[in-house]
Amino acid sequence: MANSVKNGCRHPHYLIVTFPAQGHINPALKLANRLIHHGATITYSTTISALRRMGEPPSTQGLSYAWFSDGFDEGPKSLEDQKNYMSEFKRRGSDALSDIIRSNLDATEPTFTGVIYSVLVPWASTVAREFHLPSTLLWIEPATVLDIYYYYFNASHNHLFEQEPIELPKLPPLSTGDLPSFLQPSNVLPSALVTLREHIEALDSSESNPRVLVNTFSELEPEALTSVEKLRMIPVGPLVSSSDNKADLFRSSDEDYIKWLDSKAEKSVIYVSLGSHGDGLWEKHMEALTSGVLGTGRPFLWVVKETKHEEKKSCFVDLIRGDDDKGFIRTINSLVVGWCSQTAVLAHPSVGCFVTHCGWNSTLESLESGVPVVAFPQFADQCTTAKLVEDVWGIGVRVKGDEEGLVGGDEMRRCLEKVMGGGGDGDEMRRNAARWKTLAVDAAKEGGPSDLNLKGFMEE
C-alpha cells in the first residue's frame, strides 16, 4: 500500500467526522486548525444539511471537506423525521464514510492515517476498524460527563447510581439532578441514550487503553481526567474558535450589538443566550426568565434565535420588549438579537454576567472570557456542567426549580442579583472567573499544556 511518507514517517492526515449541530461543528473545526498548525492534513466530514446552513465553510490550507447526505438535506421536517433521525444518520453516515475512506485508499497515494470522530458519531469507529484505520474519540463535553456515562453503562459500576449522593471515583458527590438529563428518570430522548451507550461500547471494545481527546484542560478537571482507568483522556482544550474561523448555522443579526455594548458601563450588561436548541424553553420558562431579567432593571442583550415557531418567537420578543408604556424604556435599555458572535460579546468589557444553559462551548467561552454565569441548564450534559460551575469552579450560581423543576421569576432575579451585585458572593465569583480566564487562556495557547498534548498525540 502506497503512503504519503516523509523522513520514514507517514504524514498525518486525519478524517474528522462530526454531528451536524452548532455546538459540535466548531470545536472539531478548531481541533482541525490546531492539527494543521502542527503539520497535519485534515479532511473534515459532516452532513450536507450543515453545509447548506453555514453557506461558505471556513477555508485554510491543509483543510478539505467531504460532505455527505443523512437523508435530511433540508433538516428533519416532521416529528417522524426527528424520531428516525439518529438511525438514518448512522445508516447513511456509515455508508458515506466507507465510501470516503475507500476512495482514499483506492487512490494512487492513499493518505488517511486515522479517523477522529466526535460525540453522537460512535459508528465512525466501527467503519474505521473495518478499514484497519485507528480511530480516536473527540469528546466535546466535560471529562466529568464522559466518566458518568462510562460508569453508568459499565456493568461493574452501574450499581453506584442506585443511591444518593452518587459517589463515583474521583468525582464530587452527585444528586440525580446533577446527572446528564438522559440518565434522569424524566429523559425524553431514548435515542440519545442508545447512541451514548454505543460510544462507551466502542471505547470498551477497542485496544486496552484507548486515547480520548477531551475539550477541557487539566487544571479544570484534574481528577475527572484520570477517573476511568481504562481511558487515556488527553485534555486539548479549550477548543474555542475565533469569530473569523468558525462556521455558524444561524444568520448573524444586522443590529450593531457591539456598538450598543460600547454605550454601556463596564460590567453592567446581562447577556442571555440559551445555545442553539432554545425552542422548548418558551413553553416552560419564558415568563420566569423575562420577569427575572427585567426585575433587575439592568441592561441586557438577549439572543432569541430563529425558530420553526416564529409566532411564539414574536410573542416572546414582545414580552421582553414590553407592550405597555414601560416598553419604550425597556427597548432602549435592551437589545434582542437573532444571533451574534458570542465570543465577541463575552469579551466585551460591558458584559457583567452570562445567563447560559451551560452548553459546554458556552461554558468554555465564559471561562475563557472571565465572565461569571447564571446557570440555567435545560438538558443533556448541561445539568452536570451547572453543578461544576456552581460547586467546583465557583464562577456562577445555578437557578433552582420547584419540585416539578419549574423556575420562578423571583428565583431568576435572586440569582442575577447574586452574580451582578457588589460585595460578597458576586465579588468572589468575579475573582474566580478572572483566575479561570488566565488558566484557560494559558492552557490553549501555543506551547501551553493542551497544545503540547495535541502535539504529543500526533507524534505518538
Ligand X SMILES: O=c1ccn([C@@H]2O[C@H](COP(=O)(O)OP(=O)(O)O[C@H]3O[C@H](CO)[C@@H](O)[C@H](O)[C@H]3O)[C@@H](O)[C@H]2O)c(=O)[nH]1
Nearer to ligand X (CB atom), residue 380 or residue 433: 380
CA torsion angle 256 412 392 352 (round to 10): 30
How many C-beta atoms surround the C-beta of residue 389 within 10 A? Answer: 26
Whether the ω angle into residue 235 lies within 30 degrees of 0, i.e. cis, is no
**Rounded to the nearest whole angstrom, what is the least distance from the CB of residue 241 to ligand X in the complex?**
7
How many C-beta atoms surround the C-beta of residue 424 within 10 A? Answer: 9
Nearer to ligand X (CB atom), residue 40 or residue 116: 116
**Rounded to the nearest whole angstrom, what is the least distance from the CB of residue 258 to ligand X in the complex?**
13
Residues forming contacts to ligand X in the complex (CB under 6 A) are 21-24, 26, 119, 140-141, 248, 273, 275-277, 303, 339-343, 359-362, 365, 380-382
**Rounded to the nearest whole angstrom, what is the least distance from the CB of residue 355 to ligand X in the complex?**
12
Element (H, E) at 42: strand 41-45
Nearer to ligand X (CB atom), residue 21 or residue 143: 21
Element (H, E) at 295: helix 281-295
Nearer to ligand X (CB atom), residue 24 or residue 264: 24
Nearer to ligand X (CB atom), residue 128 or residue 140: 140
List residues bridging with 138 in a β-sheet.
Answer: 118, 213
Nearer to ligand X (CB atom), residue 23 or residue 292: 23
Tell which phi-psi region holds residue 374, choosing left (phi > 0), alpha (psi between -120 and 50) or beta: beta
Cα distance between residue 224 and residue 209, in whole Å = 16
Whether the ω angle into residue 169 lies within 30 degrees of 0, i.e. cis, is no
Cα distance between residue 355 and residue 271, in whole Å = 6
> DSSP readout, 13-37?
EEEEE--SSHHHHHHHHHHHHHHHH
E runs forming strands in 268-389: 269-273, 300-303, 334-337, 351-356, 373-375
**Rounded to the nearest whole angstrom, what is the least distance from the CB of residue 458 to ligand X in the complex?**
24
Nearer to ligand X (CB atom), residue 125 or residue 378: 378
Alpha carbon of 134 to those of 125, 214, 256, 455: distances in Å?
8, 17, 46, 17
**Rounded to the nearest whole angstrom, what is the least distance from the CB of residue 403 to ligand X in the complex?**
24
- 251 contacts 339 by C-beta, under 8 angstroms: yes
**Rounded to the nearest whole angstrom, what is the least distance from the CB of residue 235 to ligand X in the complex?**
16
**Rounded to the nearest whole angstrom, what is the least distance from the CB of residue 119 to ligand X in the complex?**
5
> DSSP readout, 51-73?
HHHH-SPP--TTEEE--B--S-T
> DSSP readout, 183-205?
GSTT---HHHHHHHHHHHHHHHH
Residues with catalytic roles: 24
